[in-house]
């Protein structure tokens, strides 16, 4: 039996009642977090530009584009909503799978869920199944090897979770779900080439995976067949093509007994998660020692190899996208501002000469200790050399928002409200929060999704 066959036959019949209570609670938190950060990005230029570019070719009004008064087809809405969920750099992450999961799964679930008028319990089951499928395939692929070959797992792997999520909502049986997963493999793609010049196409990746997953499920519904061994086939299997360290057994290990979605982590800072441990460390040291930027002679950062490759190469970012992939910039702006939030990642802020001069004093190198631990654990060590001769040291593992230092539901609600308050009345935000935290009580999610349009008067 192939990997996708085992996944499909387990998840296709999975119901809300089959899920452990902690998985249900975690899934609702994923909705709260992903939807909030996506709504916060609804007015971003790249989002609005994409909506304008695509609307000429999509006159459908089936599905809501969150945080706007626009509607589109399920495919276009999931594409745009997925882009939104990544646009602020606050999207969730699964460390071992090295992928942003919610930005792919929630756009699928809410678009198709709105069309099919599914219940909140069906939504939770579909999301949990999609999350778990994507994460398990991501863990099995060998995240480090896959990344070092230039692939972006959010897109290459995310499309499989999206297809499973879509298959559940449109009612595919287990065999057609196998085919949906096989067809998804024909749409797997997305590379890290954007990093070379800070291109914004990274934001396209989760949306493209979401859209591709929906198409895969619909084509399977229509009778198309997909490769059963899409992952492990010797000739053309995703694992064989894109990794030297895949482990197919990992995908189905303790299937149904362990839910890997429980290890999805938050992003407190709007930048690459590989920067977060260094940012936690520098902010802690700044508070503890009341550090001033002028005291710094140099800063040495040790982290894992992929962390250096992604976020250690650029000291002087040329645009906001590059700044979100620069440990030197992040440390420097944190020392000056005492915080790292959206205001620290603007075109104006990244031009500050003082910040850039300090960033030039930050050197990032790979350590065998942190590289061996990755991707199960993400670590970083800072050594600050001060003018008075002192060397301050700080080691951080996994960082705030991780399983070691998790956010509470109340903290997630605060962030949701911060973004939603710009779009909706206080009363509507209260209703949204209550609806998300009690999803299982909804008989039909479509009225809730309609409420995501600011102009909705229902």
Contact 189, 241 (CB under 8 A): no
Q: Before 375, cis peptide (omega within 30)? A: yes
What percent of the chain lies above the pLDDT cut of 70?
100
CA–CA dist 155, 349 (Å, integer): 30
Compute the half-sphere exposure of residue 100: CA atoms within 13 Å on the CB side of its CA.
Answer: 34
Task: State residue 287's pLDDT score.
Answer: 98
pLDDT (tens digit per residue) in 196-249: 888 999 999 999 999 999 999 999 999 999 999 999 999 999 999 999 999 999
pLDDT at position 355 over 80: yes
Residue 109 has pLDDT above 80, yes or no: yes
458 has a pLDDT exceeding 70? no
**pLDDT at residue 27 is higher than 90:** yes
| C-alpha atoms less than 13 angstroms from C-alpha of 261 in its C-beta half-sphere | 29
Query: Measured between alpha carbons, how far is 134 from 105 in angstroms, rounded to an integer?
Result: 9
Residue 134's Cα: distance from chain center in Å? 12
Compute φ and ψ for 392, nearest 5 degrees: -100, 135
Please state, rounded to an integer, the average pLDDT across all residues of the chain. Answer: 97
- Give which of 54, 52, 31 is closest to 110, Cα–Cα: 31
Give the DSSP letter string of 378-431: -EEEEEEEETTS-EEEEEEES-TTSTTSPPPHHHHHHHHHHHHTTTS-HHHHHH
For residue 70, pLDDT beyond 80:
yes
Residue 366's H or E segment, with its range, is strand 362-366
pLDDT of residue 455: 85
Confidence check: pLDDT of 53 > 80 = yes
**Tens digits of residue pLDDT in 41-51:** 999 999 999 99
- Cβ neighbours of residue 428 under 8 Å, at least 6 residues apart? 451
The domains located in the chain, with CATH, are 3-265 (1.10.4100.10), 273-397 (3.30.1330.120)
Q: Half-sphere exposure (CA, 13 Å, Cβ side) for 72?
A: 23
């Amino acid at each position: 039996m192939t990997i996708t066959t085992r996944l499909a036959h387990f998840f296709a019949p999975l119901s809300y009642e089959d899920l452990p209570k902690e998985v249900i609670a975690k899934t609702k938190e994923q909705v709260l977090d992903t939807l909030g950060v996506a709504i916060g990005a609804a007015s971003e230029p790249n989002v609005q530009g994409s909506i304008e570019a695509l609307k000429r070719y999509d006159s459908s009004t089936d599905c809501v584009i969150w945080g706007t008064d626009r509607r589109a087809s399920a495919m276009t809405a999931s594409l745009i909503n997925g882009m939104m969920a990544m646009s602020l750099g606050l999207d969730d992450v699964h460390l071992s799978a090295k992928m942003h999961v919610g930005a792919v799964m929630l756009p699928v679930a809410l678009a198709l869920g709105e069309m099919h008028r599914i219940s909140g319990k069906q939504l939770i089951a579909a999301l949990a199944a999609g999350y778990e499928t994507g994460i398990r395939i991501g863990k099995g692929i060998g995240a480090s090897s896959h990344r070092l070959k230039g692939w972006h797992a959010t897109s290459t792997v995310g499309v499989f979770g999206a297809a499973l999520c879509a298959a559940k909502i449109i009612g595919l049986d287990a065999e057609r779900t196998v085919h949906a997963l096989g067809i998804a493999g024909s749409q797997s793609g997305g590379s890290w080439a954007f990093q070379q010049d800070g291109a914004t196409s990274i934001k396209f990746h989760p949306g493209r995976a979401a859209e591709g997953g929906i198409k895969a499920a619909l084509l399977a519904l229509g009778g198309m067949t997909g490769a059963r061994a899409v992952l492990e086939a010797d000739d053309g299997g995703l694992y064989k093509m894109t990794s030297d360290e895949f482990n197919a057994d990992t995908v189905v290990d303790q299937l149904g007994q362990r839910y890997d979605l429980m290890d999805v982590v938050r992003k407190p800072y709007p930048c690459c998660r590989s920067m977060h441990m260094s940012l936690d460390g520098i902010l802690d040291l700044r508070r503890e020692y009341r550090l001033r930027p002028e005291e710094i002679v140099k800063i040495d950062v040790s982290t894992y190899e992929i962390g250096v490759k992604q976020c250690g190469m650029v000291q002087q970012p040329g645009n906001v996208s590059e700044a979100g992939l620069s440990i030197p910039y992040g440390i420097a702006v944190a020392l000056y501002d005492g915080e790292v939030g959206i205001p620290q990642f603007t075109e104006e802020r990244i031009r500050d000469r003082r910040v850039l001069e300090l960033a030039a004093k930050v050197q990032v190198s790979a350590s065998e200790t942190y590289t061996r631990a990755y991707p199960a654990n993400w670590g970083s060590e800072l050594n600050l050399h001060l003018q008075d001769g002192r060397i301050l040291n700080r080691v951080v593992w996994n960082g705030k928002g991780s399983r070691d230092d998790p956010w509470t539901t109340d903290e997630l609600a605060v962030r949701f409200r911060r973004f939603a308050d710009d779009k909706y009345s206080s009363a509507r935000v209260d209703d949204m929060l209550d609806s998300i935290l009690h999803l299982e009580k909804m008989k039909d999610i479509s009225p809730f999704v309609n409420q995501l349009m600011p102009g909705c008067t229902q």
